[in-house]
Structure 1
Amino acid sequence: RAQTPMAAGPPIGPLTGAPATGGGPGTLVIEPLPGERAARPPRCVGDTVDELALVAYVTGFSNVEKLDGAARLPLACVQLVDAFKEIVERPDGFHLLQHATGELDYRGKRMMPPAKATFLSFGGVPTTATMELTQLRTMTIDTDILLLPSTGTTLARVALSLRLYDVEVNGVPLDVGPNCRTRGPLYSKDPDPARDTRDHVVLTGVLKGPGDGYQLVTGGVLDGTVTIPPFTGCGVGEDLDPLLTAAVSGPGNYIKQVQGAPCSSGNPRPDPEFCTPGHEPVKVPKPER
């Protein structure tokens, strides 16, 4: 696979969880924006008023199916509220049901940190763009754990809109304007038919046994597959919607996200193993392939 000459590091191939099979010449690398190369993680201060508040870092990779490569998702902060817990008895044993809500937090906005992408497209031409994922409504995180033998599933649902800007093709600026974004939210097939509304992403975390897998309070891996809708609002003086749609939009884009162990910032005496004195998470996850 060819390496883009504009990339800062080696090309990233598709993730093994759901390998991309698109026809593009592919390789995509995500780089921090200028000014974002700080030695420490981004600011991520938890709520100290709500006793149910948590705060955590998340990061990961996402396949871009049409480009046959994977994009690194920048380290981001998410504010959480562990809103509800209940133990219920079912025929197979006792289950812990948990419901939480979450908001992305980047400089006070509900969004991921912007990320600069470099990839090969349009017949192998090096192309760069800044990508911005904005949260459209409150994230929900629902967990069902069978207490013995501690196995279960977590479903995280979040509505995200994708915007592209600062696009360059072979080093030449391509003016897509300030409102080049997906026509609607990125979406996944929801395992709950009543909630399969094609307007939100679903990521699944699996607990395989005690300490093995994802739990909200310990972190871990969540993954899923999303569809990127067609683009709209792209271009100044010319309609670039078909160009961006042909290059990026479509189904089968696998996401693998890693959540770090959260800081219980609402606890009057937060655990120093998980919280800094400034109520930020100690655990900073690394993206996994």
Structure 2
Amino acid sequence: MKTYAPPSARRRRRLGAVAAAAALALTPVAAANAATIISLDHDVSGSTYIKSTNSTVRLGPGTLHTDLDIDTGDFTGSLTLPGTRTRFAALGLVPLEANIDFIPAGPVTGHINLAGENAEVSATAKFYVKLSNIKAIGLLPLWWFGGSTCRTVNPVSIPANTPPGEGFDLINGGRLTGTYTIGQFQNCGLLTPFVNLLVPGAGNTVTLQATNGRVS
């Protein structure tokens, strides 16, 4: 007779070597229903395409940290990405460049489905998008720009999901993609109306590659 394995048991088997290594560091819990958490770090790099400015911004290398409940597949964590510099054409006419930073505005939250043939991640990260040192290419910074305080009024919610037909490996990582909307900016000095005319909008895409998973 075939023995039925409950979902939690199937998930534990999918963790394999990760669970075995992490078990050495886990503190025994007194409550029978206490969660079993594994902390993982992945290296992350990729890019995001900003539709309104028709520009591609390089992301990373950064770090994705997650605290994974291996019984439920739920996790929380953080995604740290270094700032970068990008170029774009203002309304298709004036070539500009600016520093762009993604400032974390809360934890990364999500779920990894370990029960299927391919593990799948669905997650959401929230960032303030910050602009600084805007200048026309080859010229001095625009003196009427608001300095280092120019950022989105509200956090930008960015999904990071396993693409259909692909899988995510807790050690080898995998690809994560999503589409998001950038809202209005504030504190950009006299450039605030110009930035809000140029940058906000829907249809922006992100692609991240997580690699080198390790128990932390």
Same fold, TM-score > 0.5, yes or no: yes
Asked whether the equivalents of residues 102 and 127 of structure 2 are also in contact (C-alpha less than 8 Å), the reply is yes
What is the aligned residue count? 179
* 1:70 Cα offset (Å): 1.8
Asked whether the equivalents of residues 99 and 143 of structure 1 are also in contact (C-alpha less than 8 Å), the reply is yes
- Structure that is richer in strand per residue: 2
Pair 1:225-2:193 in alignment: no
Partner of 2:162: 205
Q: Residues of 2 paired with 1:168 and 1:248: CA distance?
A: 15
Asked whether the equivalents of residues 152 and 207 of structure 1 are also in contact (C-alpha less than 8 Å), the reply is no
Asked whether the equivalents of residues 122 and 159 of structure 2 are also in contact (C-alpha less than 8 Å), the reply is yes
Q: Residue 225 of structure 1 aligns to a residue in which SS? A: strand
Partner of 2:66: 80
Q: Residues of 1 paired with 2:141 and 2:150: CA distance?
A: 15
Q: Residues of 1 paired with 2:118 and 2:39: CA distance?
A: 25
* 1:172 Cα offset (Å): 2.9
Partner of 2:131: 164
Partner of 1:153: 120
Partner of 1:251: 202
Pair 1:100-2:68 in alignment: no
- Structure that is richer in helix per residue: 2
TM-score (normalised: structure 2): 0.75
Q: Residues of 1 paired with 2:153 and 2:25: CA distance?
A: 35
Q: Residue 245 of structure 1 aligns to a residue in which SS? A: helix
Asked whether the equivalents of residues 171 and 211 of structure 2 are also in contact (C-alpha less than 8 Å), the reply is no
Q: Residue 260 of structure 1 aligns to a residue in which SS? A: strand
Which of 89, 92, 100 in structure 2 is aligned with 1:120?
89
Q: How does 1:43-58 map to 2 (within 5 A)?
A: 51=26, 52-58=38-44
Q: Which runs of 5+ in 1 are unaligned?
A: 1-48, 87-96, 106-111, 187-199, 266-289
Asked whether the equivalents of residues 151 and 207 of structure 1 are also in contact (C-alpha less than 8 Å), the reply is no
Pair 1:183-2:153 in alignment: yes
Partner of 2:141: 173
Q: Find the structure with the greater CA-based Rg.
A: 2
Q: Residues of 1 paired with 2:76 and 2:199: CA distance?
A: 30
Q: Residues of 2 paired with 1:253 and 1:141: CA distance?
A: 20
Alpha-carbon distance change, 50 to 229 in structure 1, aligned in 2, over 3 angstroms: farther
Q: Deviations over 1:22-75 (max 9, x none)?
A: xxxxxxxxxxxxxxxxxxxxxxxxxxx964222111111111101223221121
Q: Deviations over 1:154-212 (max 9, x none)?
A: 111111111101111242312332210001111xxxxxxxxxxxxx222211474xxx5
TM-score (normalised: structure 1): 0.57
Q: CA RMSD in A?
A: 2.1
Q: Residues of 1 paired with 2:51 and 2:136: CA distance?
A: 20
Partner of 1:66: 52
Q: Residue 193 of structure 2 aligns to a residue in which SS? A: helix
Q: Deviations over 1:85-109 (max 9, x none)?
A: 22xxxxxxxxxx412221234xxxx
Alpha-carbon distance change, 216 to 201 in structure 1, aligned in 2, over 3 angstroms: farther
Q: Residue 53 of structure 1 aligns to a residue in which SS? A: strand
Q: Residues of 1 paired with 2:110 and 2:171: CA distance?
A: 12
Q: Residues of 1 paired with 2:204 and 2:25: CA distance?
A: 36
Partner of 1:278: none
Residue identity (%): 24
Q: Residues of 2 paired with 1:119 and 1:138: CA distance?
A: 30
Asked whether the equivalents of residues 207 and 215 of structure 1 are also in contact (C-alpha less than 8 Å), the reply is no
